[in-house]
Structure 1
Amino acid sequence: MGNDLISSLSFAAAGMETQAMRLRHVSENIANADTPGYHRKVMTFAETMETGLVEPGKVRLDQSDLAKIYDPGHPLADETGHYDGSNVDLVIEIADAREAQRSYEANLRMFDQTRQMTQSLFDLLRR
């Protein structure tokens, strides 16, 4: 039983760490939404074969087309008056942030419930 409780804590902690990293990348994407030529970062998830824990996978750059912005006065504008914006869609980033936040909170609840169960087990053993 004790090993199962420790495993539960490990799974919950790994989930929280992964979602925190995901939120960091979403924050970077939002911060760079107006940066010319910025490609949004997309994080994958990987499962460790030995333990089954979820870990942050590789971070890759989204290769979808960059927005073409018309601003002839911009220093990066070409002869047609356009320059490459970013491919960050704020609606997608906000949705990703909410999903990561909810996943983080679910892992936090699991961690807290496991901690409470462990405390109850220790209380029973002390009697």
Structure 2
Amino acid sequence: MKTYTIRQVSQMFDLPASTLRYYEEIRLLPAVEKTEAKQRIYTEEHINRLGAICCFKETGMSMAQLLEFFAYEEEERKHINEILALLKEQEEHVAKQIEKLKSAQKQISRKLSYYSDIKASMDSGSDCPDWADY
């Protein structure tokens, strides 16, 4: 079984070691064993769970929601409806984020086009474009 040190896991996920210790403290990352020298030993199971944690956090899931999700997951048969509801809510949240980002990207593209045309008009000595045309 492949194992990892706290330094390796920290680098793998670009997380400070203090965050990994905190996740362990609040039981978001359970069952981290330690060597006789008190060094933490992470397994593939921890790596998989951290991948999910980082993914969920990236989408804006709160710590409370993360704890809730993983608590439900421990007894998934009993809590399948709660798991589905939580994931559905998060999926809707992500869809809204994507729409906002698409709107922002569209605005940036308009500005980029406008200012590119301003530069081109300055270089050629022609009239500057009007923002109303974009």
The TM-score bracket by the shorter chain reads: 0.3 to 0.5
TM-score (norm. length: structure 1): 0.38
More strand by share: 1
Bigger Rg, structure 1 or 2: 2
Name which structure has the greater RCO, CA cutoff 8 Å, separation 6+. Answer: 1
